[in-house]
Chain A
Amino acid sequence: QITLKESGPTLVKPTQTLTLTCTFSGFSLTTSGVGVGWIRQPPGKALEWLAFIYWNDDRRYMTSLRSRLTITKDTSKNQVVLTLTNMDPVDTATYYCAHSVGGLTLIDNGFDYWGQGTLVTVSS
């Protein structure tokens, strides 16, 4: 049974760095083809993909936020960490992590398991 859970601060100040942790079970990021992505959703708005890390450490980022994003993995702890620097109120959103499986490409069939998400508010 695959589960993912996001954790981190619920409130950050503008200009601070956000660090979110995705702790998962039921799969390993050492298994060929497995990946974990981060997706966010501002209140009342659409989903927005942010970053992705593959089992072989291939990493991809959203173009417009690339300079502010870093994704890493700790396979011994079954965790994926996302950092987003220089937070702004427009970064207020629910942040989700999600599992995927690839082979021919990084993702073969979308994000099939999602965490419940964590709401991060940016305010002074």
Chain B
Amino acid sequence: DIVMTQSPDSLSLSLGERATINCKSSRSVLYGSNNKKYLAWYQQRPGQPPKLLIYWASTRESGVPDRFSGSGSDTDFTLTIDSLQAEDVAVYYCQQYHSTPWTFGQGTKLEIK
């Protein structure tokens, strides 16, 4: 199974600051046939289901603010949230969907100071 490891486990920042969340996969999630990285990011606000933010490591889902961006190599990925807003308080998860069993990271909790 591909193991997904996120860092840090939690993050406390001020409004307007930039948040950086990392995710590392134990194996490459690059799909050779289309050169896409099969890595997604989700936001889960308290009491809510997860919401897809980013897929293919860097493609924003429709309707997601451009403050959210994703980047990374075949195994190391980053979710960046610019200009933090109060509504960004949530737990963020990465997920690989390159090969089953699809696996999630342990989550990163983002709080506002």
Contacts and interface: CB of A to CB of B under 8 A. Distances in A.
State whether these chains interact. yes
Interface of A: 37, 39, 46-49, 52, 60-63, 96, 104-112, 114-117
B68 interface: no
B52 A49 contact: no
B51 interface: yes
Interface of B: 1, 31, 33-34, 38, 40, 42, 44, 49-52, 55-56, 59, 61, 93, 95, 97, 100-107
Nearest to B59: A109
The binding surface of chain B is classed by DSSP as loop
Contacts of B107: 46-47
B104 A112 contact: no
Contacts of B34: 104
Contacts of A48: 104
Contacts of A105: 31, 38, 97
A104 to B, nearest CB: 6
A49 B101 contact: yes
26 contacts: A37-B102, A46-B104, A46-B107, A47-B42, A47-B104, A48-B104, A49-B101, A49-B104, A52-B102, A60-B100, A61-B100, A63-B1, A63-B101, A96-B49, A104-B33, A105-B97, A107-B102, A109-B40, A109-B52, A110-B40, A110-B52, A111-B40, A112-B61, A114-B50, A116-B49, A117-B49
Contacts of B31: 104-105
Between B100, B102, B105, B107, the greatest number of chain A beta carbons within 10 A of the residue's beta carbon is seen for: B102
